[in-house]
Amino acid sequence: MEINKSCFLFCLFLWFSLQILIANAEVHYHDFVVQAKPVKRLCHTRSIITVNGQFPGPTLKVRNGDSLVVKVVNQAKYNITIHWHGIRQMRNGWADGPSYVTQCPIQPGGTYTYRFKIENQEGTLWWHAHSSWLRATVYGALIILPKKDTSYPFATPKREFPVILGEWWNSNPIDVIRQALKTGAAPNNSDAFTINGQPGDLYKCSSKETTVLPVGPGETILLRLINAAMVNELFFSVADHKMTVVAADASYTKPFTTSVILLGPGQTNDVLIQTNQPAGRYYLAAHAYESGPPNTPFDNTTTTAILSYENQITSTQPKPAALPAFNDTATAAAFTASIKSPRPVKIPGPVNENLFFTVGLGLFNCPPGKTCSGPNGTRFTASMNNYSFVLPKRQSLLQAAEFGIPGVFTTDFPATPPVKFDYTGNNISPSLYQPVKATKLYPLKYGSVVQLVMQGTNIVASEEHPMHIHGYEFYVLATGTGNFNAKKDTAKFNLVDPPRRNTIGVPVKGWAVIRFVADNPGVWFVHCHIDSHLTWGLAMAFLVENGVGKLQSTIPPPLDLPKC
């Protein structure tokens, strides 16, 4: 009887605890009106696509366990979707957002409401358009605070600021990518980088609007860094201030101090700085990390914002920030290798799926009778395992999978490259340059443990590829240079405290190995977050099958899911 009573009291305690947790969770409602707005940058005024007329768009702030209901009203002239980058969207691919992958786009004049819950995630993520190149201006921060009555695993900052790095074109970005696709050439480089939508003091017609972060002396400041750039990885630093990295991609990290941050497109870092310098004004600065071959054209400008101690004369020239050389691969690699989980983690295993995917560029022959502007009169393309991904146009992949619609995709994406070669060598046969256009998915059993080697190639050119997996976080076991060799490189795996990420840079002429459990059913996009590479086909998708019962199965689609 005493045992039963104890069990009853314990169960009652658990029930009350659950009710408290549920009661503390909130539902946040937002309206996103997608609309054109004239904006002036670099002495030019042009119409850009915005959310609620804001550039960047609204910052959403929620807590772990909260839910979001975001009604998107499309008043622009383009199709659009919104992706909640890094949110796991458990069993709910309908809220993930990539056009023609998990939904048909929201057409001009249409609406769609994204409904999803934040489950066991904290830190800095972001949201952005996932249709064509609209994310050049349609993006914003998504900040996930700890649950009520809990705190950060580091000293509570006095102030915090989202710092969103972006790119700016004087031309319409949609026209930029359309022109590139028409000619087969690489898209024109951006005209500026931005911090919170502003280029900063070093550009024409920009100094008055430069982003300013006001701080006081002796404070702990949290900077929530987001790389929203379309094409470029970026180095970031703060003049005369060290930064302590405490999170990456909304996963806490083992704190380490650095003078420079590397962010690939899609990646986030939370960093703490101490305002322990003489009162003054200090530049925050970012410029490109250019990992491609020498003489590759790129935007070599520098964006700035200002960290301003209170009561400083605004005419005081800010102190300059030191940034690495554009091609400083050693600094980039060292930064990535410094990120680790804060404590030992239980690595999933044993591995059920050993996958090896090549990632890189390619070339298509120019169609007969046309003139193309790619290398030697060709057209740029990109691929994974020699397949250049083609999005469907009449159904989304998730709809086709859920409703058994034939002819939309096949499930024979290869587990390893169809042709083995010296992936990072300098004498790759031109016969390997042309991939095959296809819409191929790789099926995964629910609960399978996946180890994926992503191998960069030197076809056409080698550069770092920031690879993002929708619907998942993964452990980065190792990165390295050259061709991955399982016999010798497995010994380099960090099986103690590897970092958990949603986007990882596959090093120039190198590889990355990740591991995760396929515990989220649905269709999940895998792609390079350099958007020109994505447009060219550097992508694939996992089809994660349903498990047993409703709690291991994709939920039914919402009634307002857009139609193609």
- Give pLDDT tens digits for 248-303: 999 999 999 999 999 999 999 999 999 999 999 999 999 999 999 988 999 999 99
The whole-number pLDDT of residue 314 equals 72
The whole-number pLDDT of residue 216 equals 95
Taking the model in full, what pTM does it have?
0.95
Q: Angle at Cα 441 formed by Cα 466 and Cα 390, nearest 5°?
A: 70
From the centroid of its chain, how far is CA 348?
A: 23
Task: Report the range of poorest mean pLDDT among 98-102, 293-297, 420-424.
Answer: 293-297
Better pLDDT: 213 or 23: 213
Mode of pairing for the β-strands spanning 500-501 and 281-289: unpaired
With cut-offs at 50, 70 and 90, classify the pLDDT of residue 239: very high
Tell me the three state secondary structure of residue 416.
Answer: coil
Tell me the three state secondary structure of residue 17.
Answer: helix
Q: What is the rounded distance in angstroms from the CA atom of residue 225 to the CA atom of residue 229?
A: 12
Residue-wise pLDDT for 128-153, tens only, equals 999 999 999 999 999 999 999 999 99
Is 7's pLDDT higher than 90? no
Q: What is the rounded distance in angstroms from the CA atom of residue 196 to the CA atom of residue 194?
A: 6
From 444, 561, 454, 449, select the one nearest 507 (Cα to Cα): 454
For residue 557, give both structure tokens: 């689609």
The whole-number pLDDT of residue 4 equals 56
Task: Return all residues near 284 (Cβ < 8 A) that are at least 6 apart.
Answer: 163, 195, 213, 223, 236, 237, 238, 239, 304, 305, 306, 307, 321
Mean pLDDT computed over every residue of the chain: 95
With cut-offs at 50, 70 and 90, classify the pLDDT of residue 8: very low
Residue-wise pLDDT for 27-67, tens only, equals 999 999 999 999 999 999 999 999 999 999 999 999 999 99
The whole-number pLDDT of residue 537 equals 98
- Burial code (b: 16+ CB inside 10 Å, e: under 16) for 398-413 equals bbbbbeeeeebbeeeb
Residue-wise pLDDT for 332-389, tens only, equals 999 999 999 999 999 999 999 999 999 999 999 999 999 999 999 999 999 999 999 9
Helix (H) or strand (E) holding 397: helix 397-403
From the centroid of its chain, how far is CA 74?
A: 23
Is 12's pLDDT higher than 90? no
Residue-wise pLDDT for 428-442, tens only, equals 999 999 999 999 999
The whole-number pLDDT of residue 154 equals 95
Residue-wise pLDDT for 446-492, tens only, equals 999 999 999 999 999 999 999 999 999 999 999 999 999 999 999 99
Better pLDDT: 313 or 206: 206
- Answer yes or no: are the C-beta atoms of 62 and 29 closer than 8 Å: no
With cut-offs at 50, 70 and 90, classify the pLDDT of residue 17: very low
The whole-number pLDDT of residue 18 equals 44
For each of the domains in the chain, give its residue range(s) and CATH number, in order of start. Answer: 23-150 (2.60.40.420), 154-341 (2.60.40.420), 353-552 (2.60.40.420)
For residue 121, give both structure tokens: 């995630």
Task: Return all residues near 259 (Cβ < 8 A) that are at least 6 apart.
Answer: 237, 242, 243, 322
The whole-number pLDDT of residue 316 equals 83
The whole-number pLDDT of residue 312 equals 74
For residue 487, give both structure tokens: 């016999």
Measured CA to CA in angstroms, residue 49 lies from 42, 58, 80, 82 at distances of: 18, 14, 10, 13
